[in-house]
Amino acid sequence: MKALITGVSGQDGSHLADLLLEKGYEVHGLIRRSSTTNTQRIDHIINKIQLHLGDMTDSESLHRIIREIKPDEVYNLAAQSMVRDSFDVASYTADVDALGVLRILEAIMDTEEDIRFYQAGTSEMFGAVLEIPQTENTPFNPQSPYAISKTFGHYITKHYRDSYGLFACNGILFNHEGPRRGDKFVTQKIVKGLVAIKRGLQDKLYLGNLDSRRDWGLAADYIRAMYLMLQQDTPDDFVIATGETHTIREFLDEAARLLGMDWTEHVKVDSKLFRPSEVDMLLGCADKAKSILNWQPEVKFKQLVKIMVDAELNR
């Protein structure tokens, strides 16, 4: 089996590459040309996978790579994934996260090969939620250029499945974290900031809305669900979540408790870090994934925080 992973150097892409290698796949990854290397998450497997230069904004490179590889599976994990940044770079976010999905679907169709496709959706598509908890049938109500772009990606994937018979699945993944999470994401920002404060390397940590509630799971757990979606007889869409919701304040509490700290002495709320339109609460119901994929999260909230704190202390 051959798989192409876009966004292979990111948190999810690196975990997925690990999993597919364990299962005996020939793994290919799409990376962007850059003047600096950004492969630290895949350096441990760099000699076991094949990397290809390309870009989600460049149709020609996507067509060329898919024609050359002829993969059995394509996992589209590439994205401009910072929600707050998407307000400032809205057109770029749409070009990558929305039109990029269309470009890769067209590239797959043009090969006329039997290729299975996974599209990485997000709980941010639910936005200002219209029901609690959110399931595969909950209407989307996106509140950011990122979420709107991902919603387009979701529906264009469904369109190619329904109209052209492509084996295409949408994973609606709720927040998933871990030691490979980028530094700008709030969970990693909290963990790295508190550890640095504890060690006397910095004094203050600036955060935005501490009352936002999220359904947080472990990234390595959620990758298994992506793989399982493409192993089914029939393509479908699945919510992947833990079924628990916690505030950012609770994440702070737990991380500080593990470090023996009082975070209130060091954390400051900065209004500049608030989004123009906030998403107050996300809570997923993964019953469909549990029933059909036989998937369920192995790691819940407190264990997730401990994994991240321990990893940062060790680092």
136 counts as catalytic: no
Q: Quote the Cα angle for 62-67-69, to 5°.
A: 95
Of residues 135, 302, 149, the one with CA closest to residue 216: 302
- Residue 146 is a catalytic residue: yes
Active-site hit among 6, 93, 122, 138: 122
Q: What string of DSSP letters covers 258-281? A: HHT--GGGTEEE-GGGS-SS---B
The closest of 81, 88, 97 to 276, measured between CA atoms, is: 88
The catalytically annotated residue of 124, 177, 254, 312 is: 124
Is 124 known to be catalytic? yes
Q: Residue 2 — φ and ψ, nearest 5°?
A: -115, 135
Distance CA 256, CA 288 (A): 35
User: Of the residues 25, 75, 146, 222, which is catalytic?
Assistant: 146
Integer angstrom CA distances of residue 109 from 116, 124, 167: 11, 28, 11
Query: How many CB atoms neighbour CB 313 within 10 A?
Result: 13
Active site residues: 122, 124, 146
